[in-house]
């Protein structure tokens, strides 16, 4: 009989040395239960070898352990980095787990153009230019961009649009752009505005205001009253920007303020982004924890996972002290390429900042717990209405969208105890060449086949949380029969499904529900469960329509010139300027193609052959 629990761990302890490293605890099915780091592997694992003295969570984890794995590292810092990477990759059940880890947007001022563009940027910083951020959300970036455009009047249009403008756009009319595309401002003056915007984003707003005030006085003395009025409006706009930004710390130029509140076995972490002495927004996170996790454990795990894929600022201002602050600081400093200081303030402006963040965390968690309780009640109502054995933890809702069969897409949204899980939404480009255009049943069959074939392949034992407890299908008896046929073919006979169809008047509140083996039925018009189903169905429809529109727009905007090797932006521009459209290029003879500036004889032949061989 193989060893488990304490006896197994005692055996491993005898084989370990005092090296730093990372350990993994696995259950009988080889699923990772926990990932931990250690300055001294032997000493750390010995703690689990004691038969008593553990919290209920740790005792349960030890009892489930059937195997352990170890990786030694050269340094403690290396062990910390490896631990956080493994936690994010493996998502062990007993670790604190950061569930929402999206990238954060930045403001980008491009440098490749004579008249730089200012825009929102998310993702890898591949484009040439100056990046400012991160901002807490797309909303925070958009607000800042709107304010910057009012003050500095920089363009936000694409380079392609800039090149083709012949008259000022609406942004110029409402004084959000200085009109460089049509020569309403010189390159020199525009560059000066760009520098002012960059100085403002770097926290030097006072210097800019003083400079603008001086320019306004000079313009007034020279009786350039129109220019003076424009400068006055910019100063007013900047003053309003500073007023709207709220808290702008005097002594903190670059920091993330991180505050944790724990209540009722749930946690909320508020992160405020302070850059250039300005508040660039805040974001709340709800890491998965157990009831016996301490504040220090949760905060250390959050910091490690949060910055595993992001560059940390020079200061992290924390609401609670953490045990391995020196180790975390060293790891973050090494990754960022500059010193990262962890601060646990007790007084002064930093304490006020983290106290404010802590209040936000407490209020956000209270709101979430209230919403979670409501959601749990609705899920119990779903179980009662549709005769399920228990409240579903994962509901998948499916919808299709197309125009007479064209640009067809399927969409899946997911809902559960925490509301809509948008990072698990999926879209399906309908591939079936044998489908009749507009065949909704065929489309739904294809979507379901692909969805459940993948589920069966990835998790045949259904050990993960990715298997649905309920399927909601947008449609009536026909759609439900189509889905049931597919599931039966795939051997899936225990996933409940409900078809949701609008009633005879196709009106909200008159939905009819179709369940295999039951008569069609409806819910009371004022039933909260009905409203909940409507919200899920509407969300699926919104997602399907958005996906369909994106596919259609991409197809409509596609240009056949993009498929010709050697045709870049400048040659494409020259061809379109000469012929007026891609269709005209496709009809042009060889001599006309050769006459275009920048198109060599060889390239003209390649273009001609491309269109005529295709025909």
pLDDT digits (tens, 9 = 90+) for 399-415: 887 655 566 788 899 99
User: Which residue from 414, 514, 417, 523 is spatially nearest to 467, judged by alpha carbons?
Assistant: 414
Instruction: Report cis status (omega within 30 of 0) of the bond before 562.
Output: no
* Token representation of residue 418: 């925490």
Rounded mean pLDDT of 547-563?
68
Nearest by Cα to 496 from 386, 381, 385, 377? 386
Report residue 217 as tokens: 């006085």
Structure token pair of residue 175? 């004084």
Domain boundaries in the chain?
Answer: 5-90, 106-244, 254-367, 395-555, 560-614
Q: Which two tokens stand for residue 396?
A: 């998948």
* pLDDT for the residue 135: 87
Sign of the alpha-carbon torsion through 201, 203, 209, 211: negative
DSSP state letters, 492-545: -----EEEEE--TT--TT--EEE-TTS--B---TT-HHHHHHHHHHHHHHHHHH
The pLDDT of residue 287 is above 80: yes
Judge whether 397 and 468 are in contact, CB under 8 Å: no
Which residues, other chains included, contact 427 with Cβ-Cβ below 8 Å and sequence gap of 6+?
409, 410, 411, 412, 543, 547
Q: Label residue 202 by pLDDT band (50, 70, 90).
A: confident
Q: Which has more confidence, 556 or 108?
A: 108
Q: Among 18-32, 296-310, 547-561, which stretch is predicted with the lowest mean pLDDT?
A: 547-561
| Distance linking the first and last C-alpha atoms of the chain | 72
| pLDDT category of residue 493 using cuts at 50, 70 and 90 | confident
Same fold, 254-367 and 395-555: yes
Would you place residue 286 in the very low, low, confident or very high pLDDT band (cuts 50, 70, 90)? very high
Q: What is the pLDDT of residue 586?
A: 84
- 313: closest CA among 278, 349, 337? 337
Residue with tokens 């007084």: 347
Q: Per residue in 20-71, pLDDT tens?
A: 999 999 998 889 999 999 999 999 999 999 988 898 899 999 999 999 999 9
Distances (CA, A) of 171 to 5, 146, 177, 531, 576: 67, 11, 5, 41, 26
Asked if residues 94 and 57 have their Cβ atoms less than 8 Å apart, the reply is yes
Torsional sign, CA 36, 40, 42, 44: negative
Mean confidence (pLDDT) of the chain? 86
Cβ-in-10-Å burial (0-12, 13-18, 19+) of 450 comes to middle
- Predicted TM-score (pTM) of the model is 0.72
- Condensed to tens digits (0 to 9), the pLDDT of residues 169-183 reads 899 988 889 999 999
Please report where in the chains the tokens 């010709």 appear, as a residue. Answer: 564
Digit-coded pLDDT (tens) for 320-371: 999 889 999 999 999 889 999 999 999 999 999 999 999 999 999 998 888 8
User: Looking at domain 5-90, what is its CATH homologous superfamily?
Assistant: GIY-YIG endonuclease (3.40.1440.10)
pLDDT at 479 over 60: yes
Question: Going by CATH, does the domain composed of 254-367 fall within 3.30.420?
Answer: yes
Contact 414, 420 (CB under 8 A): yes
DSSP string, 121-135: E-S---SSEEEE---
Secondary structure letter of residue 563 according to DSSP: G
Bridge partners, residue 415, by sequence: 395, 420
Burial 575-599 (b: 16+ CB within 10 A, else e): bbebbeebeebbebeeebbbebeeb
* C-alpha separations of 150 from 41, 101, 181, 574 in Å: 58, 32, 18, 34
pLDDT bucket at 615, cuts 50 / 70 / 90:
very low
CA distances from 184 to 109, 119, 146, 148, 598 (A): 20, 21, 20, 19, 29
pLDDT band at 278 (very low <50, low <70, confident <90, very high): confident
CATH 3.40.50.10260 fits 395-555, yes or no: no
Q: Is the pLDDT of residue 223 over 90?
A: no
As beta bridge partners, residue 25 has: 34, 68
What pLDDT band is residue 544 in, cutting at 50, 70 and 90? Answer: confident
Is residue 409 within 8 A of residue 429, CB to CB? The reply is yes
pLDDT above 60: residue 613: yes
CATH architecture of the domain 560-614 equals Orthogonal Bundle (1.10)
Cα 289 to chain centroid distance, Å, stands at 22
Q: For residue 577, name the pLDDT band (cuts at 50, 70, 90).
A: confident
pLDDT at 239 (0 to 100): 66
pLDDT in tens, 412-438: 999 999 889 988 999 888 776 665 666
């Amino acid at each position: 009989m193989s060893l488990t629990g304490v006896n197994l761990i005692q055996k491993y302890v005898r084989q370990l040395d005092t090296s730093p490293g990372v350990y993994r605890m696995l259950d009988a099915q080889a699923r990772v239960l926990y990932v931990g780091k250690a300055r001294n592997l032997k000493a750390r694992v010995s703690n689990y070898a004691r038969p008593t003295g553990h919290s209920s969570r740790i005792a349960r984890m030890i009892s489930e352990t059937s195997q352990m794995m170890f990786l030694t590292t050269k340094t403690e810092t290396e062990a910390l980095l490896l631990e956080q990477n493994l936690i994010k990759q493996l998502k062990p059940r007993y670790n604190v787990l950061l569930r929402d880890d999206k990238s954060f947007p930045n403001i980008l001022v491009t440098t490749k153009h004579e008249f730089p563009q200012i825009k929102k940027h998310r993702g890898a910083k591949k484009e040439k230019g100056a990046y400012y951020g991160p901002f807490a959300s797309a909303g925070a970036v958009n607000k800042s961009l709107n304010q910057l455009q009012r003050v500095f009047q920089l363009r936000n249009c694409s380079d392609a649009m800039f090149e083709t403008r012949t008259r000022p756009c609406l942004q110029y009319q409402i004084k959000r752009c200085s009109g460089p595309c049509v020569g309403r401002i010189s390159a020199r003056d525009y560059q000066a505005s760009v520098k002012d915007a960059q100085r403002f984003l770097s926290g030097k707003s006072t210097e800019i205001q003083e400079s603008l005030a001086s320019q306004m006085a000079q313009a007034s003395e020279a009786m350039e009253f129109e220019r003076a009025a424009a400068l006055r409006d910019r100063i007013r706009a900047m003053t309003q920007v500073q007023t709207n930004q709220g808290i702008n710390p005097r002594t903190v130029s670059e920091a993330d303020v991180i505050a944790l509140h724990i209540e009722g076995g749930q946690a909320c972490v508020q992160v405020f982004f302070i850059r250039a002495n300005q508040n660039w927004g805040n974001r709340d996170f709800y890491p998965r924890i157990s009831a016996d996790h301490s504040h220090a454990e949760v905060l250390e795990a959050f910091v490690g996972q949060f910055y595993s894929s992001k560059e940390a600022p020079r200061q992290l201002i924390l609401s609670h002290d953490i045990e391995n602050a020196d180790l975390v600081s060293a790891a973050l400093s090494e990754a960022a390429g500059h010193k990262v200081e962890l601060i646990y303030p007790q007084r002064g402006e930093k304490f006020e900042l983290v106290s404010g963040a802590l209040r936000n965390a407490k209020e956000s968690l209270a709101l979430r717990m209230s919403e979670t309780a409501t959601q749990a009640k609705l899920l119990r109502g779903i179980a009662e209405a549709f005769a399920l054995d228990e409240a579903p933890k994962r509901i998948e809702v499916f919808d299709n969208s197309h125009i007479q069969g064209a640009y067809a897409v399927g969409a899946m949204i997911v809902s559960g105890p925490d509301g809509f899980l948008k990072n698990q939404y999926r879209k399906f480009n309908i591939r079936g060449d044998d489908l009749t255009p507009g065949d909704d049943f065929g489309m739904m069959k294809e979507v379901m086949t692909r969805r459940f074939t993948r589920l069966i392949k990835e998790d045949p034992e259904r050990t993960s949380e990715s298997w649905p407890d309920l399927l909601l299908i947008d449609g009536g008896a026909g759609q439900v029969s189509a889905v049931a046929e597919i599931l039966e073919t795939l051997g899936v006979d225990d996933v409940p499904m409900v078809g949701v169809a609008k009633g005879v008047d196709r009106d909200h509140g008159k939905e009819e529900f179709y369940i295999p083996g039951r008569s069609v039925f409806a819910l009371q018009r004022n039933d909260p469960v009905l409203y909940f189903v409507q919200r899920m169905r509407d969300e699926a429809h919104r997602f399907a329509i958005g996906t369909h529109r994106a596919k259609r727009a991409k197809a409509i905007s596609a240009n056949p010139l993009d498929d010709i090797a050697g045709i870049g932006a400048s040659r494409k521009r020259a061809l379109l300027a000469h012929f007026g459209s891609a269709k005209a290029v496709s009809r042009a003879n060889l001599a006309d193609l050769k006459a275009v500036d920048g198109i060599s004889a060889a390239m003209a032949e390649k273009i001609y052959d491309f269109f005529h061989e295709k025909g």
